[in-house]
Structure 1
Amino acid sequence: MTYQQLMGLANGYADSKVLLVANELGVFTAIGTGGHRVNALAAACGTTHEGMRLLLHALAGLGLLRRQAGRYWNTPLGLRFLDGHSPLAITNLLWLLNHHWSDWTGMARAIRRGRPGWATVTKTAEFRRRFALAMQERSHVLAPPTIASFRLPRNATRFLDLGGGAGSYSIALARQYPTLQGLVIDQSVAVARRLTRQQGLADRLKVRTGNLFTLPLATGFDVALLSNVLHDFSEKENLRLLRRVYQSLRPGGKLFIVEYFLNPAGIRPAEAAIFSLLMYAFTDTGRCYAWKETEGWLATAGFSRCRRHRITGTIGTLEAVKR
């Protein structure tokens, strides 16, 4: 790493915060498909004229807005992902990343004194609703290639999505395999219920509120899915969860785990190692785990024939079969 790269890394938070603040204020949505002047956007977003002018200059400088004849316009990228009216908007995902700012701000204290645990706000209905929406928005890009990597058992008809959040992967799976019926379980399922209805899948996808570790599970499922769940929990908790999943599957049934998987040293990919540190401050016991660690738990729980598949540079799927 060069000195210039070092300074770019040190100051990278500023570029990020410009984007996150603009999203928080609703700037991209206020601009929409038109072009607007500073005073109109300041009024629409409830800001001062000076503050909005400087923010718009920064956004234009970063290439996130286009300025022409004193008016500011969304770029094609902004119209697609930043305007809240777009079906592909990631406004809730950016809201979540902005929420994590407090986790990073308190990181030094957490490292010195220990994990702060789940913040009280994360247990509120509104936080859980927006968190689920953030995960749904994140799935726009990730769900299709992830589902495409799955090799389902022959004649599969039933699947379990444990900790399924907004039901994004269940919806993608049901659309890919028209004969499948699924059950989504999470602590908050309001968003999942709404999305399954919107997609016309309410007759094939059922949603149920419950604790992943204590809710009684049916048996005989052909497929089980754990998507971005393991990084919320400790090694001991994850082994307990995998044993529950094992009992819910039929012999020959398959489990698919979607995660930020690390190399054996725990340092690559860098994004996964950084996310693991964030989980230290955000959760009670969670972090990211190596492929090999997870395969060890699977073997202990009774699974066999593990198969790795890389989806992106940081996200992968791990497939295992119930003996």
Structure 2
Amino acid sequence: MLTFQKFVETIDGLEDARVLLAALEFDVFSVLDKKQLTFKQVARKAKTREEGMEALLNALVALGALKKSKDSKFASTPEMYKHFCRSSPHYKQGTAHLKLEKNNEWTQLIGTIRNGRDLSAFEGDDDPAFRHCFSYAMHERSEPYADQIAALLAKKKSIGRFLDLGGGPGSYCAAVLRKDKKAEATLLDRDAACNVARALFSGEKFYNRFHFKPGDLFDSEYGNGFDTVLFSNILHIYNPAENRQLLKKIHKALAPGGRLALVDFFLNEDRTAPYEAALFSLTMLLFTATGKTYTFKETEALLNKAGFGKITTHKLNEGSHVLVAHKK
């Protein structure tokens, strides 16, 4: 049960978040790089007022994101330099961009609950620049789970011809191709996402088995004869009618006896657990035109109606699961 103290502490945590977001907004970790600078030097490079920057840098030290020397110079911690400095080979450009972008939209939560979704926000063509950054963010988020999913799919039989629908940066394709040396993988996504996948994996030994199909989930043909199709974190974007359309296309693309691996957050029947899935319902309210988090039973019903059976459930981390279903 949520206590009064935890309630207050959780809301107060927004202050810490705002401090870190300000650091990203002013690119503090890139300004510092591997150097030690005074607050005046940082303010000059970041084009801010000295007073505000001094207060921000001291707060970042208090949070453990920066270090401060006895002569009042500031430096990044190794962790912050590694992930949030642009000169670092491990710079998480997608995560940094997405955290800033999503923060702005989360401020609209109260208005969205009161008045409904602003559907005008979803009009127009896809923005390639956003898709580029989003794809990197998805790689940074997906990479820890990609090997786990590849191992699950390769556990009892070969993955074979593999189709990753809307797979963004191709993290799952890469994991599958590393795990199954005979597999062939096709990534279907927008041009910007396919370009990120090429940049990430063109130097890998498996690259000659990695194929790209730039396109749209609804408008493009998937092909046929695939042994395994991955539908990862797509279900929650769309309403039931839209998902039925996509699942029928997947069914058609699979070879006889082929399987679909559906990765997502899933809710229990009372829609209050697990916590991550319940919270994700609010995320979908803000960031999609019609999406939501589905329950296990709702998802199984969609799969059955599209011609899938023999459904098994496998738990991942953070409230996420894989449903593996076979073509009837």
TM-score > 0.5, shorter chain as reference: yes
Distance in 1, matches of 2:124 and 2:68, equals: 38
Structure 1 residue 201 displacement after superposition? 4.2
Calculate the TM-score normalised by the size of structure 2: 0.90
Distance in 2, matches of 1:83 and 1:278, equals: 28
Structure 1 residue 10 displacement after superposition? 1.9
Distance in 2, matches of 1:218 and 1:309, equals: 27
- State yes or no: 1:292 paired with 2:297: yes
Calculate the TM-score normalised by the size of structure 1: 0.92
Distance in 1, matches of 2:145 and 2:21, equals: 21
Question: What is the CA deviation profile of residues 159-203 of structure 1, one whole-angstrom value per residue up to 9, with x for unaligned ones?
Answer: 101111111111121122222111111123221232232435442
Q: Which residue of 2 aligns with 1:213?
A: 218
**What is the identity, as a one-letter code, of the residue corresponding to 1:22?**
A
Q: Which residue of 1 aligns with 2:243?
A: 238
Structure 1 residue 240 displacement after superposition? 1.5
Question: What pairs with 1:13-32 in structure 2 (closer than 5 Å)?
Answer: 13-32=14-33
- Alignment equivalent of 1:196, drawn from 191, 196, 201: 201
Structure 1 residue 75 displacement after superposition? 2.4
- Structure with the larger RCO, 1 or 2 (CA within 8 Å, 6+ apart): 1
**What is the identity, as a one-letter code, of the residue corresponding to 2:311?**
C
Structure 1 residue 135 displacement after superposition? 0.7
Q: Aligned in 2, Cα 1:47/1:144: closer, same or farther, shift over 3 Å?
A: farther
Q: Aligned in 2, Cα 1:97/1:208: closer, same or farther, shift over 3 Å?
A: same
Question: What is the CA deviation profile of residues 28-60 of structure 1, one whole-angstrom value per residue up to 9, with x for unaligned ones?
Answer: 223233433222322332322222211111111
Q: Which residue of 2 aligns with 1:81?
A: 83
Q: Which residue of 2 aligns with 1:55?
A: 56
Question: What is the CA deviation profile of residues 248-300 of structure 1, one whole-angstrom value per residue up to 9, with x for unaligned ones?
Answer: 11122121112122222212222221221121121111111122221221111
Kept in 1: contact 2:122–2:289 (CA 8 A): no
Kept in 1: contact 2:170–2:187 (CA 8 A): yes
Q: Equivalent residue of 2:153, what SS?
A: coil
Kept in 1: contact 2:166–2:187 (CA 8 A): yes
Distance in 1, matches of 2:272 and 2:88, equals: 36
**What is the identity, as a one-letter code, of the residue corresponding to 1:308?**
T
Distance in 2, matches of 1:122 and 1:57, equals: 42
Unaligned runs of 5+ in 2: none
Q: Aligned in 2, Cα 1:266/1:86: closer, same or farther, shift over 3 Å?
A: farther
Kept in 2: contact 1:147–1:169 (CA 8 A): yes
Q: Which residue of 2 aligns with 1:33?
A: 34
Q: Aligned in 2, Cα 1:60/1:146: closer, same or farther, shift over 3 Å?
A: farther
Q: Aligned in 2, Cα 1:28/1:121: closer, same or farther, shift over 3 Å?
A: farther
- Alignment equivalent of 1:186, drawn from 183, 186, 189: 189
**What is the identity, as a one-letter code, of the residue corresponding to 1:305?**
K
- Alignment equivalent of 1:90, drawn from 89, 92, 95: 92
Q: Which residue of 2 aligns with 1:254?
A: 259
Q: Equivalent residue of 1:203, what SS?
A: helix
Q: Which residue of 2 aligns with 1:110?
A: 112
Q: Equivalent residue of 2:29, what SS?
A: helix
Structure 1 residue 150 displacement after superposition? 2.6
Q: Aligned in 2, Cα 1:217/1:122: closer, same or farther, shift over 3 Å?
A: closer
Distance in 1, matches of 2:183 and 2:228, equals: 10
Q: Which residue of 2 aligns with 1:132?
A: 135
Of stretches 83-92 and 128-137 in structure 1, the one that deviates more from structure 2 is 83-92
Distance in 1, matches of 2:55 and 2:230, equals: 46
Kept in 2: contact 1:135–1:165 (CA 8 A): yes
- State yes or no: 1:174 paired with 2:177: yes
**What is the identity, as a one-letter code, of the residue corresponding to 2:28?**
V
Q: Aligned in 2, Cα 1:260/1:89: closer, same or farther, shift over 3 Å?
A: farther
Kept in 1: contact 2:251–2:308 (CA 8 A): yes
Q: Which residue of 2 aligns with 1:142?
A: 145
Kept in 2: contact 1:121–1:127 (CA 8 A): no
**What is the identity, as a one-letter code, of the residue corresponding to 2:110?**
A
Unaligned runs of 5+ in 1: none
Aligned residues: 323
Q: Aligned in 2, Cα 1:59/1:144: closer, same or farther, shift over 3 Å?
A: farther
